[in-house]
Structure 1
Amino acid sequence: MVQVCLNGARGAADSAIVPLTPEVMAEEAARAVAAGATDLHVHPKTPCGRDSVSPRVVAATLEAIRARVAVPVGVTTGAWAESDPAARLARVRGWTALPDHASVNWHEPGAEEVAAALLELGVGVEAGIWSGTDGAARFARSPLGPRVLRVLAEVTDPDGDTAAQSARALLSDLGHAHGRPVLLHGEDAGAWPVLRLAGRLGLATRIGLEDTLALPDGRRAASNAELVRAGLAEYGRAAREGTPAV
């Protein structure tokens, strides 16, 4: 599976091509799916471009995207979208339109409660386990671990020379990961080395403007669709190379 991550916490200051409104997100989603993406991850945003878990904002984003594509759609529940854990939990419980899945960063305060609420709502949970945090250790102890949809192994090392090594360390920390599927991805200059590692290991991965604004050759990407096409090509080549030691 190659998931497309449409925008992330990026805004207009990062690039004019980052989709910020429901209509533009939907258009980017349609083009990315046509390019080969089979799953979506999106950050719903307020009119001023701020990430939000507000029921109204989430519903508007999901409605627009689902009018254009039929693949699963997931959203963020990151603490930066609502810093107060109790308020974040209340907003999630108040969602009137439900995504197919939502990412929960296990190192953030209130993660277990948000994940439990999502499961009660019938929403799949992507357990976000970030390198450089205690997320893997917390997830290993979590009684919710066996119930998540998948583990989102997020390599936060942006160095293209060391990101793959950081990814291997993160996978080692995750261990059996409660037997759940793992989606491995990196960010910025580390996005492409980690994607190639995912290909060699046969793991799901993702690519899109949240993770990188650049193509493998360093040129600025023109769209999420262009990143997806490049990602599928890089993933395929890496998969044919075989499996390295981890």
Structure 2
Amino acid sequence: MNEISSVPIPYNETLETYISKYANYGWLPKTYGLYEFYKPLFISKLREYGLPEDLAYLPIIESNLNARAGSHVGAKGLWQFMPGTGKQYDLFSDSSINLFYDPYLATDSACKYLKNLYRLLGDWNLVLSAYNWGEGRVLKLIKNHGTRNYWSLRPHMPKETQAYAPSFHAVKYLYNYYDLYYKNRVSFMYNWNDVSVLTVNTYIPLQQFAKDFNIEYGTVNFLNPHILGYDAPKNSFVYIVDRRKSKKK
């Protein structure tokens, strides 16, 4: 795997434990199906910012690719931004819109954040740890122990953060060797390459988009988790499946 990986890690007993753990999760094939839907978005944004494409697996660990996921500490969306961090990277919410849930904008913000973390830390496994624990804590750990070696610093991290990078690599491994672990693949009718974005100038019911573009209302809801009500607010973005772009009818 490391020969084709842009975020390498040594194979050891720790990683083997996490591969076995994730291989036993019955929900993971469905999540990989969701990953196939979002993958074109993730990859295109990572390339835009010159980041390793392997980082596309990160939101699997963060949110199980639930665009409206929320944590007990207040993190939100596919990339689980905390409110303060999200605000630094242009995400906000009000009574009708929550940009933390917007797949495109949250991915763009995550790429900016990850690029800044790498400038600070210079090691992708430390970047993963900082994404979970906070860059300030990881920088303090580096200072206190005089090293940037991930495996030397890992025992001094909280258990959740110790698990983070190995979980990321386990998910990456199982995706790349999917057929060795799973019998069937979960697939969706569309992926992000089939999606177009519209800007609305007035309030429009989401039902109207479903009718106008001949797609199911459930699909419109799935594509627009950032819209909190039944209507697209004025000056908001709406994602739709453009059948002229899609090969699937």
Structure possessing the higher radius of gyration over alpha carbons: 2
| Higher-RCO chain (CA-CA 8 Å, sequence separation at least 6) | 2
Give the TM-score of the pair, scaled to structure 2: 0.25
Structure with the higher helix share, 1 or 2: 2
Richer in strand (by share): 1
Q: Give TM-score scaled by structure 1 length.
A: 0.25
